[in-house]
Chains A and B, each alone.
Chain A
């Protein structure tokens, strides 16, 4: 609840400035504030970070993703880099790719993982 409201023009400008410094939830590498260009606000839960991104890249598109996406899938898996989107290599699914040397070609050989 707000207990204070601006009464004169200068106070209104200060209030506006403070408001402008407050943003919605944004990607982790794009903290609120500063003079950074506005970026797409991709819904959280889809991905926490966008380097280069999972479903979308930092620009909200797909041009920045590895193509095809299977090229990148092991590097995302191996260090729990994307622990929600790809099985957890270090703790719960270390053998997920043990029968598949090339994810792009042999993705059918990847093990099934059930949460």
Chain B
């Protein structure tokens, strides 16, 4: 049922984009690289004043990029059209650090919602506070509100890798946090309004749904599209697929693809939403083996598989036209593979180490 509705969107919403796009890559020690896919080279470098970029988010209208930096816990706002930093500031004071986890700006670009931990420096020790919902006014360049996180929301906010990803509804009234469940918060006071329990989603034959990273490239305004993994309540067979969450209506559509392999490096979908790709890893250390899997989303079948050299840590990406696959991180290069044949083509040497903040891909 849900699959039909998503496939309808998959088929109708996008056509293939022929022109090459631009990659925005957060890089060491303190810049965002602007990489032209067509030329295969860095065409610009956006210097950051506040330090090393550790987070990058594209605004819903694709006009602004928000970068969080770690050195002094800063925020930098980049205008995509001019590739200039239009606003930057640091949250730290000489005795306080505010470590940021996750983050999303409101649709007007005035407020930034995040989760912070306050770390206070004393003469002989540091004290680390509990994570708190935090509202930052981008114009005032400071934290204007912090709210204690209820105990039952802590699992979404104090994991080993920070907090669940946030998104703001198109009208700015609600804040969504994706984790073990979807928490809906009132954006004015961070009060929990509702939950969508992913362990028992409103979908037949599914339980224990987990959301993966947001798929910016195929997101339409006002939606959050991501990889999901779930299991059925009887045999507990794990299945993966694409989930689309409407930030306006809170309707969720699941499009299962197939049994979930043990190790999956995310999923990437072509702009026409007909093909999906993942890298599946099995074994570990010296016996680790990786394969590209290519899926036809119109039939939910695997059409190609091909072995690919495993890096210890890597991220899978896709070009703006969906014709190339990228493997990057940790390090200074991007390996390019042909998406149709899954064959290696070339390596782009960025001559600059990139951080693990992720990348923004824009047509």
List CB contacts (< 8 Å) of A81-115 with chain B. 89-90, 94, 97-98, 100-105
Q: Is the CB of B351 within 8 A of A102?
A: yes
Please classify the interface of chain B as helix (H, G, I), strand (E, B), loop, or mixed, using the class held by over half of its residues.
loop
Q: Is the CB of A97 within 8 A of B285?
A: no
> A52-67 toward B: CB 8 Å interface, digit per residue (1/0)?
1000011101011111
Q: How far is the CB of A94 from chain B (nearest CB, A)?
A: 6
Does B353 sit at the interface, judged by CB under 8 A? yes
Q: Is the CB of B313 within 8 A of A79?
A: no
Interface size on A, residues (CB 8 A): 27
Does A71 sit at the interface, judged by CB under 8 A? yes
Q: Is the CB of B355 within 8 A of A78?
A: yes
Q: Is the CB of A101 within 8 A of B331?
A: no
CA distance A97 to B50 in the complex (A): 15
Query: Which residue of A66, A79, A97 is within 8 Å of B330 (Cβ)?
Result: A66
Q: Is the CB of B312 within 8 A of A52?
A: yes
CA distance A63 to B288 in the complex (A): 9
Query: Which residue of B30, B284, B353 is within 8 Å of A103 (Cβ)?
Result: B353
Q: How far is the CB of B64 from chain A (nearest CB, A)?
A: 24
Q: How far is the CB of A22 from chain B (nearest CB, A)?
A: 27
Task: Considering the complex, give the chain A residue whose CB is closest to the CB of B52.
Answer: A78
CA distance A98 to B52 in the complex (A): 10
Does A75 sit at the interface, judged by CB under 8 A? yes
Q: Is the CB of A59 within 8 A of B284?
A: yes
Q: Is the CB of B353 within 8 A of A66?
A: no
Q: Is the CB of A66 within 8 A of B311?
A: yes
Please give, as numbers and ranges, the residues of chain B lying within 8 Å of A71 by CB-CB distance. Answer: 330-332, 353
